[in-house]
Structure 1
């Protein structure tokens, strides 16, 4: 558990250091182009995030979390990735339903995400690079460490809770915990980061797409309307049950994974 907390703290330190390194260059660029440094913090957001990702990824690699295990970057199989997409979409839809019932939770990061989504680098950071780095950190390092110390169920739950708290933003914490359970379970079953990365990118990309193209829509129910939404919700529940049953039967040839 100490290692998990340490890794999260290192991630935040990396982001702070990255911001400090990027800020002077952003100030110079902003002044040269606009003749002012008023928007420096906004302009520095995406580059500093990118640099923080690179720094954290390099740290995880250097410390051996991301190497020495041939399974970690394995796609498992085409069929498994297909089922991963199915269970991912079903989970995304169901989490959206849960979050629609928790709409009272404040969104502390709304303005930050709007800034990031205003440029291509920020969109890439949210949609692709963030998911990859978070899977490397939370599954490739933290979940791996927890599985070595605790039972699979306890390790998965702890990993999901840490993942949720990591997001800090109340409007994201619950959804992150729920998706964290799926991501940690996928890593436990396969030893691979690829299925989780696929779903994570899918989730974040859909979020960015909807935010940019339907800025006034808060939840899927607002977009689909009744009765379409309730039909889709029932389908999502069925798909989740079927895909879980199929995927839970998977047993990695190189591990001692059990059905959970």
Structure 2
């Protein structure tokens, strides 16, 4: 019961800090508007993410000194792992395409300016992965299993975007990124895949493909049905693989890495390789 209470507490604190920083920076955007709306949004978003990380760092350094640091080893550039992630992203987008027609995303805030491009394709993936796959996962991992931590981080990631289709895709998307993070032992791989996904979505908006269905783009229901079935199989098989791997991680590691901030000594009990860099 204590572990459940601790997990809910940490999840709530993360969400409270995240929402508070969004509101503060959103208010700042209203009080001190810039002529360039895209630049203003980019600055506000970046500032909110930076402040969220700062306050989370202050909280975890005092309340969770044993929390495992975020790993960023060179294994995050594994081409096979990244290619598998790209295939899953394409497959998932096809599987969810019927729902996207029923629950379209409001893309009115996105334009073709360079600031919007930087915010969507570069800044958002970096900060969101550090926050959700890095900080939040490691916060939850202290009192919850790897699978529970990945699932909760994924669901919250989908929920904070305030779009129904993103909330629905949050779990499979989060399982992919959680798997990649644990498999590569690096936050770099999830960031790269997140950048690719956002770049793909941004390109469809700028090129005005977002108002066309997958069937129209493929030019034929017969081809779409075949591609949809193959994509669905890829998604199902991949998600089973993600879950089994994450569960296996939990069985192998009964404890997480304990970091003593006072002595700067770490005790390896979570299977982290000594060659990993952390931040």
Same structural fold, with TM-score higher than 0.5 when normalized by the shorter chain: yes
Q: Any unmatched runs of 5+ in structure 2?
A: 1-7, 253-267, 273-279
Q: How does 1:108-127 map to 2 (within 5 A)?
A: 109-112=106-109, 114=110, 117-127=111-121
RMSD: 3.6
Distance in 2 (alpha carbons) for counterparts of 1:194 and 1:70: 14
Residues 105/162 of structure 1: CA separation in 2 closer, same or farther (3 Å cut): farther
CA contact (8 A) 2:180 2:190 kept: yes
Distance in 1 (alpha carbons) for counterparts of 2:46 and 2:126: 12
Q: In the alignment, which residue of structure 2 is the partner of 1:9?
A: 16
Distance in 2 (alpha carbons) for counterparts of 1:187 and 1:221: 33
Structure 2 counterpart SS, 1:111? coil
CA contact (8 A) 1:217 1:223 kept: no
Q: In the alignment, which residue of structure 1 is the partner of 2:71?
A: 72
Q: How does 1:1-260 map to 2 (within 5 A)?
A: 1-26=8-33, 29-30=34-35, 44-63=40-59, 72-76=71-75, 78=77, 81-103=78-100, 105-107=102-104, 109-112=106-109, 114=110, 117-226=111-220, 230=226, 234=230, 255-256=270-271
Residues 217/223 of structure 1: CA separation in 2 closer, same or farther (3 Å cut): farther
Distance in 1 (alpha carbons) for counterparts of 2:119 and 2:39: 14
Of 50-59 and 135-144, the range deviating more from structure 2: 50-59
CA shift for structure 1 position 73: 1.6
Distance in 2 (alpha carbons) for counterparts of 1:123 and 1:97: 24
Residues 70/20 of structure 1: CA separation in 2 closer, same or farther (3 Å cut): closer
CA shift for structure 1 position 88: 1.8
Residues 146/71 of structure 1: CA separation in 2 closer, same or farther (3 Å cut): closer
Distance in 2 (alpha carbons) for counterparts of 1:12 and 1:185: 26
Structure 2 counterpart SS, 1:72? coil
Of 186-195 and 101-110, the range deviating more from structure 2: 101-110
Distance in 2 (alpha carbons) for counterparts of 1:234 and 1:94: 8
Q: Please list the CA deviations of residues 91-128 of structure 1 after superposition, one character each: whole Å capped at 9, or x if unmatched.
A: 2112212221213543463323x3xx342212211111
Q: Any unmatched runs of 5+ in structure 1?
A: 31-39
